[in-house]
Chain A
């Protein structure tokens, strides 16, 4: 290699280069893993001390310093339910259109795909102020679980569509041709062949979307609000668990312990959801494949 980098690379003794590169990568990995382990240990250590059964079954007292997070868990669940109920059908339909009814690389598909990719890049706080202006003020939903859920649905839509689309595209073309040869209508093919075959990907996409939505704070502060009472309808304001952690950390002196316990609950829920996604996807996959 005649160029400058080439000579520099070949002139260093091999053993030394091996040691340096190995040392650097091990150090970088140790640094990242160390910081992460430190954080996890802190969350588990400080969270577990405060966490017990009554923490998840009682209401918060004195702004969350004591008491539990039951209403917050209910609000979180309701917000996620609204988000999924809106985003899942809309996302699935768009994914089907993209994978089955548009030419690959055609105009319509490209523009829809581009707008979704751009949407995926919009910062969450921008979703938050949009949700506030559109759902809370313009549509008159106010600070409510409905407004928060709809805002999260907008955020989760791109990832749902992209994963569902790639799952549908991964269904072998033979199946479509076989179904067409049998004279099945496209609607029947879709319901009887494509969607069942793509179930693992659809479920995985859904779970990933739920995970993203659950970790979200900035989009919810100005849409679903801060109220930490048990919600009695979807038009009530409800505090999501991530908003609760934020509020305890920033606005409540002495709320750190409860914040850590809530963080531990949140991370445990995220791990369960992602684990369930993987497990469900595996089961659906084996169920489809074994009879053949």
Chain B
């Protein structure tokens, strides 16, 4: 075979692979839609928002309690994880002695790699008993948020640290020439300059938190209700899919695919927002 014919065949092979790889997303969305379609077509999308309660076998499909639980849990987790993550990054870069900073950074990376099911196991056997002591039943919105916080801190910390490392040297020199203190430089220059990247990191972490399933399922009690307090057991959208998929049939199964579709769109919207904000270059 001549070299050019071999090249042509190579390019054909590579293109075929790329088509498969990039077509995968379409296939997933199409399949979710195909599985969700029966219930969407004869029941309608509105019922999923307007119905009172989730009893899919009796024909009520209200996703609102689960949606509220997912949003509340992620919101609380981000309120805790954002300051902790940003402070962790500042600690690594500016305040820790070199050795401690390195060890801490290494620990953050390790924490980022801990499987969610292990976090769930630890949460259920350690955090939940602590919360029982405050207010039973223990498995609650709060427990879910705390475990999510542990999962989100590394994402926020590592993106913030990368952003701080990318602040141009000239900014530091300029601040030093103006006689600004280090704190003045950090608060007045470095953090504002990296604002967009930090925000993008937080959005990305929120998207992960919304999509997290196992850890949340294990510690949050899985009662379908709109949470009224931190100590209420709740069921998130993801946990609902994982719990009921095993035995669901017919409309019930289709309605789980509807909630999967809702979840995917929610997470993708957040990721798109993160891409959009992260794309803005604040410093030239």
Contacts and interface: CB of A to CB of B under 8 A. Distances in A.
A123 B21 contact: no
B87 A218 contact: no
B61 interface: no
Interface in A107-123: 108, 111-112, 115-119, 121-123
Interface string B186-229: 11100000000000000000010011111001100000000000
Given A21-B183, A24-B87, A132-B245, A217 B28 contact: no
B14 interface: yes
Given A36-B107, A111-B22, A161-B21, A25 B90 contact: yes
Interface stretch (A37-45, A48-56, A193-201): A37-45
A90 to B, nearest CB: 5
Interface in A81-133: 89-91, 93-94, 96-98, 101, 108, 111-112, 115-119, 121-130, 132-133
A267 B107 CA distance: 14
Given A22-B95, A97-B14, A218 B24 contact: no
Contact of A115 (B10, B22, B116, B238): B22
B115 A91 contact: no
Nearest to A208: B113
B124 interface: yes
A116 B121 contact: no
A98 B116 CA distance: 32
B163 to A, nearest CB: 16
Instruction: Point out which of A24, A126, A186 has the most chain B C-beta atoms below 10 A from its C-beta.
Output: A126
A9 B178 CA distance: 15
B268 A121 contact: yes
A246 B7 contact: no
Interface string B104-148: 100110110111111111101110000000000000000000000
Interface stretch (A170-178, A230-238, A256-264, A284-292): A256-264
Contact of A29 (B15, B91, B115): B91
Interface in A168-218: 185-188, 190, 211, 214-218
A126 B211 contact: yes
A95 to B, nearest CB: 9
A21 B22 contact: no
A218 B150 contact: no
A263 B125 CA distance: 13
A14 B211 contact: no
Interface string A213-225: 0111110011000
A144 interface: no
Given A33-B107, A245-B121, A263-B121, A91 B21 contact: yes
Contact of A133 (B107, B207, B257): B257
Contact of A123 (B10, B187, B210): B210
B181 to A, nearest CB: 5
B63 to A, nearest CB: 15
B122 A112 contact: no
A224 to B, nearest CB: 13
B153 interface: yes
Nearest to A113: B22
Interface stretch (B46-54, B166-174, B259-267): B259-267
Given A186-B10, A218-B238, A26 B95 contact: yes
A290 B258 CA distance: 56
B41 interface: no
B14 A6 contact: no
A253 interface: no
A251 to B, nearest CB: 11
B188 A5 contact: yes
Nearest to B257: A129
Interface string B66-90: 0000000000000000011001101
A29 B126 contact: no
B17 interface: yes
B13 interface: yes
A108 B246 CA distance: 39
Given A129-B245, A185-B7, 4 more contacts: A25-B94, A89-B17, A127-B28, A243-B117
When A and B form their complex, which 3 residue pairs have the shortest distance between CB atoms, in order from nearest? A123-B211, A28-B87, A93-B17
23 contacts: A9-B187, A14-B181, A24-B87, A25-B95, A28-B87, A29-B104, A32-B108, A39-B122, A90-B21, A94-B14, A98-B18, A112-B22, A123-B211, A127-B28, A133-B31, A211-B113, A214-B115, A245-B121, A246-B117, A249-B125, A267-B115, A270-B115, A274-B113
